[in-house]
Structure 1
Amino acid sequence: MSNAVFPPLFIDSLHSEPGFDEQSFVEAHQNEALVSIRLNPFKPSDTQKGAPVPWCNEGFYLEKRPSFTFDPLFHAGAYYVQEASSMFIGHIFNCVKPDGEPVKVLDLCAAPGGKSTLLNSLLNNTDLLVANEIIKTRVPILADNLTRWGTANSIVTNNDPRDFTRLKGFFDIILVDAPCSGSGMFRKDGSAMEEWSQANVELCHQRQQRILADIYPALKEDGYLIYSTCSYSHQENEDVLDWLCTEFAMESINIPVQPDWNITTSQSPKKGAYGYRFYPGKILGEGLFAACLKKTNDSGTLPAHKNSGQQKLPIKEIALVKEYIKDADNYYYLKVADDWLAIDKHHHESLNTLHKHLYIKKSGVRIGKIAGRDLVPDHELALSVIINKDAVLQIPLKYDEAIAYLRKDNLVLSTADKGWSLMSYEGLALGWAKLLPNRVNNYYPKELRILSALPI
Structure 2
Amino acid sequence: MNNLPTDTAENLPAELAENLAENLPAELAENLAENLPAELAENLAANLPADFLKYLAESAGDELVPRIAEAIASNPVTAIRLNPFKTKKLLEAGYSIEDILQMIDAEDGGYESIPWCADGFYLNRRPSFTHDPLFHAGLYYVQEPSSMFLSVLQPIIDSLLRSVKRLNVLDLCASPGGKTTHLCSMLGSKENLPNADSLAHASQLPNAERFVHASKLPNSDRSLLICNEVIRSRTGALAENMVKWGRHTNVMVTSDDASKFSALDGFFHMILVDAPCSGEGMFRKDRDSVNEWSVNNVALCASRQQRIVSDVWSSLAEGGYLAYSTCTFNRYENDDNVRWICEELGAKVVDLSEFMKSELEFMKSELESMKSELESLSGILKSKAGGYHFFPGVTKGEGFYFALLQKKSSDVQEQTTFREPSKNVLAALKRIYSIDCFAKGEQKGKDFVPSAEYALSLDYEGVYPSIEVDRQTALLFLARENFILPDAPKGFLRITYKGLGLGFVKNLGNRLNNLHPVNRRIRNLNR
TM-score (norm 2): 0.73
User: How big is the shift at 1:375?
Assistant: 2.6
1:412–1:305 Cα change, 3 Å: same
1:435 matched residue in structure 2: 507
Q: In the aligned structure 2, how far is the partner of 1:255 from the partner of 1:202?
A: 28
The counterpart of 2:432, out of the listed 321, 334, 358, is 358
1:183 aligns with 2:225: no
What is the alpha-carbon distance in structure 1 between the residues aligned to residue 282 and residue 423 of structure 2?
A: 42
Q: Which residue of 1 aligns with 2:129?
A: 68
Tell me the secondary structure at the aligned position of residue 15 of structure 1: helix
5+ residue gaps, structure 2, are: 1-39, 91-99, 105-110, 188-219, 357-373, 412-417
What are the equivalent positions in structure 2 for 1:69-148 lying under 5 Å apart? 69-95=130-156, 97=158, 98-100=160-162, 101=164, 102-123=166-187, 124-148=220-244
Match of 2:66 in 1: 23
Return the offset for 1:305. Answer: 3.4
Higher strand share: 1
- The one-character-per-residue Cα deviations of 1:239-287 (angstroms, maximum 9, x if unpaired) are 101111111111110112412021000123xxxxx11000111111011
Partner of 2:491: 419
1:212-234 deviations in Å (ceiling 9; x for gaps)? 11010000010000000111110
Shift of 1:18: 3.9
**Equivalent residues of 2:131, 2:525 under 8 A apart:** no
Conservation of the 8 A alpha-carbon contact between 2:479 and 2:525: no
Shift in alpha-carbon separation, 1:18–1:7, aligned structure 2, 3 A = closer
Q: Please state whether the residue corresponding to 1:203 is helix, strand or coil.
A: helix
SS in 2 for 1:143: helix
1:106–1:174 contact (8 Å) kept in structure 2: yes
- 1: CA distance between counterparts of 2:488 and 2:133? 25
SS at match of 1:366: coil
**Equivalent position amino acid for 2:75 in 1:** E
Partner of residue 385, structure 1: 458
**Alignment partners' CA distance in 1, 2:155 and 2:283:** 29
Residue 51 of structure 2 corresponds to residue 9 of structure 1: yes
Aligned sequence identity (%): 41
Q: Distance in 2 between matches of 1:174 and 1:446?
A: 34
Bigger mean CA deviation after superposition, 186-195 or 168-177: 186-195
Give, in whole Å, the separation in 1 of the partners of 2:484 and 2:133.
18
In structure 1, what residue type is equivalent to 2:429? Answer: L
- Say whether the 8 Å CA contact 1:251–1:293 is kept in structure 2: yes
The answer on 1:263 being equivalent to 2:380 is yes
Residues of 1 paired with 2:524 and 2:224: CA distance? 36
| Aligned residue pairs, count | 403
Greater share of helix: 2
What are structure 1's unaligned runs of at least 5 residues?
A: 269-273, 307-348
Q: Which has the higher Rg, Structure 1 or Structure 2?
A: 2
User: Quick one: distance in 1 between partners of 2:61 and 2:226?
Assistant: 34
Q: Give the alignment's TM-score, normalised by structure 1.
A: 0.84
Could you say what the CA RMSD is over the residues aligned between the two structures, in angstroms?
2.1
Question: 1:47·1:78 contact (CA, 8 Å) conserved in 2?
Answer: no
Quick check: 1:41 aligned with 2:41?
A: no
Partner Cα distance (1:92, 1:381) in 2 = 29
1:282 matches 2:282: no
Counterpart residue type for residue 442 of structure 1: N
Q: Matches of 1:454 and 1:298 in 2, distance apart?
A: 62
Q: Which string of whole-angstrom CA distances, capped at 9 and with x for unpartnered residues, describes residues 393-412 of structure 1?
A: 11111111111100101112
Residue 99 of structure 1 deviates from its aligned partner by 4.5
Kept in 1: contact 2:255–2:435 (CA 8 A): yes
